[in-house]
Each structure stands twice: as structure tokens, then as C-alpha cells.
Amino acid sequence: MEKQRIAIFASGGGSNALKLLNHFEEIEDIQIELLLTNNENAGILNKLNERVPHMVINNEAAKDGLFLTQTLQSLGIDYIVLAGYLRKIPIDLIRAYPTQIINIHPALLPKYGGKGMYGMHVHEAVYKNKETSSGITIHLVDEIYDNGQTLAQITTPIEQGDTPSEIQQKVLKIEHQYYAKVVEEYIRSQHDS
């Protein structure tokens, strides 16, 4: 496979972004070339240690699909991997990368998805509904939040008495175990000759 270049989009602490960096540092034909964030205070920015170039955009730029497309294409980016990115991906960027934008959602879609369902909001809703399991959904991104084709779904049991924070920790653990491998396998599946 010809070398494939990834841009990671993140808005927060970036634990998934770091797991992705670690995973793809060991792989020669898939490389992470950029970390983009809409949040100048994102915790990930303090953890990169110059491992990858980064770009901070404001919320206007985050809405500008043509700007984002031109920027990413000028860098030769082939895939966009969202890792706790909290802004809507604009339609013009989706049209430029129709099957090349991947997201991880910390719940078993289609439940607990859509506008407002991010971070702890998700786990609090799962807790409130007394679910006995939660998990992750890795999916392609389309113009509707959390609506794109599912690539993988992995569940984790919720014990009676688990708090939203304990649910978050269980879900984050499987995010870290599976996301990078699912991304790698998906990219390779798109280039199987």
C-alpha cells in the first residue's frame, strides 16, 4: 500500500490521540502528519512533545469546509481521524473526504448520540437510564452527528452501582484498546489490491 497520511482532530485531553500516535509510530505505511484542534487550551497540546506538527483553528475556521479541505489536501492528508473532536465537520470537508473521516463515539449508537451527546453527557445519560452495558462505536462521519456507517462496535458491562465516571473509565479503556487497530484495518481495507 502506498503511504497513507492521517490528520487527527481533537478538542480535549487527547488520550485517544496519544494512543493513535503510539500505534502508528510503529507502522511505516500509515503515518500521522498533523494534530488539529479547535481549542487553544486543549490538553493534548501540552502532551505532543513535538511528536507531530499541530494546528490550532478558531471556531469560524472549524466551520469552513473549503479552508479545511485546502489545508489538509496541501499537506497530502488522506484520512481524518476524530479523537474527542467537538465541532461539527462541515459538509464541504465531508464531500472532499467522503469515506475517509472516522470518529469514535463513547456509546452504542444509535442510542446516546446526536447533538449534545459528548463526553460525560453520554455516560450520565447511560447511568440515568440504568443501562447494563455501554461501549464504543467507531464510524464513518457524515453530515449528521453520529449517523455514518458503523465500522466497529465493542461493548463493556456496567455493574450495578457504577457511577458515570466509572462508566467513562470502562469505555475509555476499550477506546484505547481498539480505536487505532480499527482505524488501521479500515485504511488497509480501502487499499487491498
Ligand X SMILES: NCC(=O)N[C@@H]1O[C@H](COP(=O)([O-])[O-])[C@@H](O)[C@H]1O
Q: Which amino acid is at 73?
A: Q
- Which residue is catalytic, options 105, 123, 139, 191? 105
Q: Which of 172, 177, 78 is nearest to 123 (CA)?
A: 172
User: What secondary structure letter does DSSP report for 149?
Assistant: P
Which residues within the stretch 73-102 sit at the binding site for ligand LMY7XDAE (CB under 6 A)? 82, 85-89
Count residues binding ligand LMY7XDAE (CB under 6 A): 17
Residue 108: all three cell numbers together? 452504542
> Taking CB under 6 A as the rule, does residue 120 contact ligand LMY7XDAE?
no
> Taking CB under 6 A as the rule, does residue 13 contact ligand X?
yes
17 sits in which H/E element: helix 15-25
> Taking CB under 6 A as the rule, does residue 14 contact ligand X?
yes
Residue 95 CB: number of other CB atoms within 10 A? 11
Q: Can you give the length of the chain in residues?
A: 193
Q: Is there a catalytic annotation at residue 191?
A: no
> Taking CB under 6 A as the rule, does residue 148 contact ligand X?
no
> Taking CB under 6 A as the rule, does residue 175 contact ligand LMY7XDAE?
no
Residue 130 CB: number of other CB atoms within 10 A? 8
Which listed residue (16, 37, 69, 134) binds ligand X by CB under 6 A?
16
> Taking CB under 6 A as the rule, does residue 141 contact ligand LMY7XDAE?
yes
Which listed residue (104, 140, 141, 187) binds ligand X by CB under 6 A?
104
Please report the DSSP string for 81-141 in residue order: EESS--SPPPHHHHHHSTT-EEEEESS-TTTT-STT--THHHHHHHHHTT-SEEEEEEEE-
Using CB under 6 A, list all residues that contact ligand LMY7XDAE. 82, 85-89, 103, 105, 115-118, 141, 143, 145-146, 148
Using CB under 6 A, list all residues that contact ligand X. 10, 12-17, 83-84, 104-106, 118-119, 122, 172, 175
| Catalytic center residues | 105
